[in-house]
């Protein structure tokens, strides 16, 4: 301060000014791994693991923050509802009964961003998106399927007969003596339903009766 007199005396005092950096930079999102695995049908909250077996984690930094300045809270936004990020940054399963079997897919590819949480209706700055991929591990949760074969009549006293079901690499040989011919059955859907059993019951009954009659005729001869 300076006197407004001919003497023009003056004095000084220290003044500290802190320059606050404006929120001009978006948060930076990092992931410990960009791909991971988790078993299908895992319970919600199960962590996704990277190839080393460690949980996949996400972290956020902000270039606008000064040393020692407290970071604002962030929320994670994902383009999938199957997974979520916990408050501590772990990628976990979000919904029950994630299935990898058809018609579902064993691989989930999605994006995630970190957004600053601000007061009011304003939307805070968001990070650039990261692409993540999660593969569902297989669990033996489906029963095996057995092909339904049509009834085949084999005359008593015949030579061995090989029967091919029409399913690749599946050949059933009857341990009976029959003619040295090969019978190829039409391709069938490799599963048995209650309707299939009901439709085949009359044929099976007829087959059993014919076998009994053939045995009787064989004994008479």
Do the bridges between strand 161-164 and strand 171-174 make them parallel or antiparallel, or are there none, so unpaired? antiparallel
Cis before 103 (ω within 30): yes
Which helix (H) or strand (E) covers residue 182, if one does? strand 182-184
Secondary structure of residue 220 in the 3-state scheme: helix
The answer to whether 112 touches 79, Cβ cutoff 8 Å, is yes
pLDDT higher for 141 or 57? Answer: 57
> How many whole angstroms separate alpha carbon 74 and alpha carbon 27?
9
Q: State mean pLDDT over 28-57.
A: 95
Bridge partners (DSSP) listed for residue 100: none
pLDDT of residue 184: 47
Listed residue (203, 150, 157, 201) closest to 178, CA to CA: 157
pLDDT confidence tier of residue 18, bands split at 50, 70 and 90: low
Residue 74 has a CB neighbour count (10 Å cut-off) of: 24
The answer to whether 21 touches 66, Cβ cutoff 8 Å, is yes
pLDDT of residue 91: 97
Task: Return the structure tokens found at 90.
Answer: 């772990």
| pLDDT, mean over the chain | 76
Q: State mean pLDDT over 64-75.
A: 79
Q: State mean pLDDT over 17-25.
A: 63
For residue range 158-214, what is the model confidence (pLDDT) as tens digits?
666 565 555 554 444 444 444 444 444 455 444 455 555 555 666 667 667 766 766
For residue range 85-140, what is the model confidence (pLDDT) as tens digits?
998 999 999 999 898 887 888 999 999 999 888 776 677 888 889 999 999 998 87
pLDDT of residue 74: 87
pLDDT of residue 153: 67
pLDDT of residue 220: 58
For residue range 148-169, what is the model confidence (pLDDT) as tens digits?
666 766 666 666 656 555 555 4
Which helix (H) or strand (E) covers residue 205, if one does? helix 194-220
> How many whole angstroms separate alpha carbon 114 and alpha carbon 116?
7
Q: Within its chain, how far is the Cα of 30 from the centroid? A: 23
The answer to whether 47 touches 56, Cβ cutoff 8 Å, is yes
């Amino acid at each position: 301060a300076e006197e407004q007199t001919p003497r023009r005396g003056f004095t000084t005092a220290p003044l500290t000014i802190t320059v606050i950096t404006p929120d001009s930079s978006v948060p930076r999102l990092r992931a410990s791994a960009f791909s991971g695995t988790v078993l299908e049908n895992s319970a919600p909250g199960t962590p996704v693991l990277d190839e080393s077996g460690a949980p996949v984690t996400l972290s956020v930094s902000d270039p606008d923050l000064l040393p020692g300045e407290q970071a604002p809270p962030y929320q994670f936004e994902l383009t999938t509802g199957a997974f979520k990020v916990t408050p501590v940054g772990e990628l976990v399963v979000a919904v029950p009964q994630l299935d990898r079997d058809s018609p579902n897919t064993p691989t989930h590819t999605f994006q995630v961003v970190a957004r600053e949480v601000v007061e009011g209706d304003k939307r805070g700055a968001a990070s650039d998106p990261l692409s993540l991929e999660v593969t569902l591990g297989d669990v033996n949760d489906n029963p095996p399927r057995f092909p339904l074969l049509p009834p085949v009549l084999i005359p008593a006293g015949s030579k061995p007969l090989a029967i091919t079901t029409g399913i690749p690499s599946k050949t059933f040989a009857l341990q009976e003596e029959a003619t040295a011919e090969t019978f190829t059955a039409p391709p069938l859907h490799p599963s048995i339903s209650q309707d299939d059993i009901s439709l085949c019951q009359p044929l099976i009954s007829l087959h059993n009766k014919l076998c009994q009659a053939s045995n009787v005729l064989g004994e008479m001869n």
